[in-house]
Structure formats: structure tokens, C-alpha cells
């Protein structure tokens, strides 16, 4: 059923995924109240791999590809993101800044494939950079340090590199299985880094002192954010054009910032809303402009 309009039930599922992914930044913050960030990442990816790997077959891709993706997403994206959210950036702002992975992905593709940027992509990037620059210039008031912004930007860069790795698997690969099996390769380097940087005593104290709320937050990372989110997203992409589904991801920073404001009291002054709107506008232009241009060309007709 490959249509442009989503049935109401499918739209509700897409909204649920976006809500889970967006509000997950608040859940991360709650888990970090008890657990060191790298230890949290270890638990997240360990539970994403087992017991799911007992029921989900390994996707037909090389082990080295799964390993590369697991390290880039596990250590590079989430390891850095958790470290930043611990004390250097607010969850809502992190949910926005990490979406710059879109532009990093485009940049890496152009660099590797020698493509030139389209004009609309340059405009989209300029808007996003303007919004991020505004936030960086008032980082303290925004709820971030310069280090925090840098760490999340590096996390976004690592996410974009992971995107390029997963592209090599092809569109027919089950991304839920891909995510589950690649998670196994995230655990060993994260565990080594956690024991080295955070220390065995801190890791044990965090795990021993974690209450049921912390363990629910860890489970939400693995089961809700990873297994449900990726499974539902892949299910939707299998039934509708990517151009119909992917724009829904623009709601992730909206849910992220809104939930952080409600649940954590994260301030949202007018200037921060405006700066965030610039970033989201840049993301929206990058997603929607090709479709708008195609519709304009169709409306104009062949003789235009």
C-alpha cells in the first residue's frame, strides 16, 4: 500500500514513534541522575542486543559493516550525547542540535561522491547555522556550554557517518535487525571506555544505587526507543514512500523541547524559540523543497 496519504492509524503510529524519539531525551536525563553516561550507554546497547538477538536473525550484511555502524552509533553518537547531556547541555536543546546530522550526512555524501550542493541545500544550511550560531552566542542562557554544543555536534557527525555505513546495506535490509545486531559491537568499546574514564567504583555505585525508575529509563532506551521505534519506522517505510514518512522526523526536536520544558522546566524564552525555529526551518527546507519544486514543475506543465 504505497500511497501519499497516511491512513489515520499509520499516521498515529508515525506520531507515536516521533513522540518516543523526542521525549527520550528527557528519559536520558532521568537515567543520568543515577548512572554515569558511558555506563548508561553500555546498558542501553546490551539490552538492545539481548534478548532480541535470540528472536531476530542477523541481517545479510558483512560483520565489518555491523561493527562499523555499532561503534559509530553506540560510541560516537550516543556515548558523546550522554556525556553532553549529563552536565553540558539541556535535553531539549540536545534534541535539536543533534538533528544537524542531516547536514553532516549531505556534506559527507558530497565530499565522497564529488557532488555539488544544490541552492536550496545551501539556504537550508545557512538557516540552521544561523540558528545554531545564535544559540552558541548565548549558550549559557540556552542551557548549554560550548563543550556541550561541540559534543552534540560531534555526535551528529558520527550519526551521519553511521548513515553512510547503513546506506551500503541497501534499502531491502531489515533495519530493526541491523540495529539489534550492530548493538553487540557498541558494548565492548563503551564498556572499556566506561571503566577507564568513569572508573569501576563509579560504575558499580551507579548500578547498585539505581532504583526502579532508572531501570525503567534504561529499558525505555532499549525497548521503546530502539526496538519499537526502529521496528515501527521500518514497517511504515515498507508501506509508504520515504518522502511521506521522513518529514515526520521533524517532530523529534519539537517533542524533545516541549517535553523538556514540561517535565524538567527547561526555559524557552522567545529568542531561544526563534533560534530553534531557524534550525527547524532549515531542516524543513531540506526535506520539503524537492517536493515543492516537483509540484511547481508539474503545475507549470511541459510548455512552461
Domain boundaries, the chain: 8-97+144-268
User: What pLDDT was estimated at residue 158?
Assistant: 93
pLDDT at 70: 93
Cis peptide bond prior to 127, omega within 30° of 0: no
Q: Give the pLDDT confidence of 27-71 residue by residue, as tens digits.
A: 999 999 999 999 999 999 999 999 889 999 999 999 999 999 999
The alpha-helical segments, DSSP class H, found in the chain are 8-31, 37-49, 63-71, 80-87, 91-97, 101-113, 119-137, 139-142, 146-167, 175-193, 200-209, 212-219, 229-239, 242-245, 251-264, 270-300
Burial (0-12, 13-18, 19+ Cβ within 10 Å), 211: exposed
Cβ contacts of 137-145, under 8 Å, gap ≥ 24: 138/271, 141/269, 141/272, 142/90, 142/93, 142/272, 142/275, 143/89, 143/90, 143/92, 143/93, 143/266, 143/267, 144/88, 144/89, 144/90, 144/93, 145/88, 145/89
pLDDT, position 171: 63
Contact residues for 1 (Cβ-Cβ < 8 A; gap 6+)? 239, 240
What's residue 243's pLDDT? Answer: 64
**DSSP 3-state assignment of 92?**
helix
In this predicted model, what pLDDT tens digit does every residue of 235-256 receive, in sequence order? 787 677 666 777 778 888 889 8
Q: Give the residue among 86, 91, 122 at the shortest CA–CA distance from 206.
A: 86
Q: What is the pLDDT of residue 304?
A: 47
- What is the distance between the alpha carbons of residues 11 and 177, in angstroms, rounded to a whole number? 23
Helix (H, G, I), strand (E, B) or coil at 162: helix
Amino acid at each position: 500500500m504505497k500511497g501519499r496519504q497516511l491512513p489515520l492509524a499509520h499516521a498515529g503510529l508515525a506520531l507515536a514513534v516521533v513522540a518516543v524519539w523526542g521525549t527520550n531525551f528527557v528519559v536520558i536525563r532521568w537515567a543520568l541522575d543515577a548512572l554515569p553516561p558511558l555506563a548508561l550507554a553500555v546498558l542501553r546497547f546490551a539490552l538492545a542486543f539481548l534478548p532480541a538477538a535470540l528472536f531476530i536473525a542477523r541481517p545479510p550484511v558483512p560483520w565489518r559493516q555491523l561493527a562499523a555502524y555499532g561503534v559509530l552509533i553506540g560510541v560516537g553518537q550516543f556515548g558523546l550525547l550522554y556525556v553532553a547531556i549529563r552536565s553540558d547541555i539541556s535535553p531539549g536543546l540536545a534534541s535539536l542540535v543533534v538533528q544537524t546530522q542531516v547536514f553532516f550526512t549531505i556534506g559527507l555524501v558530497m565530499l565522497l561522491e564529488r557532488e555539488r550542493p544544490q541552492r536550496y541545500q545551501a539556504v537550508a544550511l545557512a538557516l540552521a547555522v544561523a540558528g545554531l550560531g545564535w544559540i552558541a552566542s548565548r549558550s549559557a542562557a540556552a542551557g548549554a556550554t560550548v563543550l556541550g554544543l561541540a559534543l552534540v555536534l560531534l555526535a551528529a557527525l558520527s550519526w551521519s557517518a553511521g548513515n553512510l555505513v547503513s546506506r551500503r546495506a541497501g534499502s531491502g535490509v531489515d533495519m530493526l535487525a541491523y540495529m539489534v545486531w550492530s548493538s553487540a559491537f557498541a558494548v565492548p568499546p563503551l564498556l572499556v571506555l566506561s571503566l577507564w574514564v568513569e572508573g569501576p567504583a563509579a560504575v558499580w555505585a551507579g548500578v547498585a544505587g539505581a532504583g526502579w525508575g532508572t531501570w525503567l529509563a534504561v529499558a525505555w532506551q532499549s525497548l521503546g526507543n530502539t526496538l519499537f521505534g526502529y521496528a515501527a519506522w521500518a514497517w511504515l517505510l515498507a508501506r509508504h514512500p520515504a518522502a511521506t514518512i521522513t518529514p515526520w522526523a521533524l517532530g523529534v526536536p519539537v517533542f524533545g523541547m516541549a517535553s523538556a520544558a514540561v517535565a524538567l522546566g527547561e526555559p524557552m524564552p522567545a529568542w531561544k524559540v526563534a533560534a530553534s525555529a531557524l534550525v527547524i526551518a532549515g531542516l524543513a527546507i531540506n526535506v520539503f523543497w524537492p517536493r515543492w519544486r516537483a509540484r511547481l514543475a508539474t503545475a507549470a506543465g511541459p510548455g512552461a
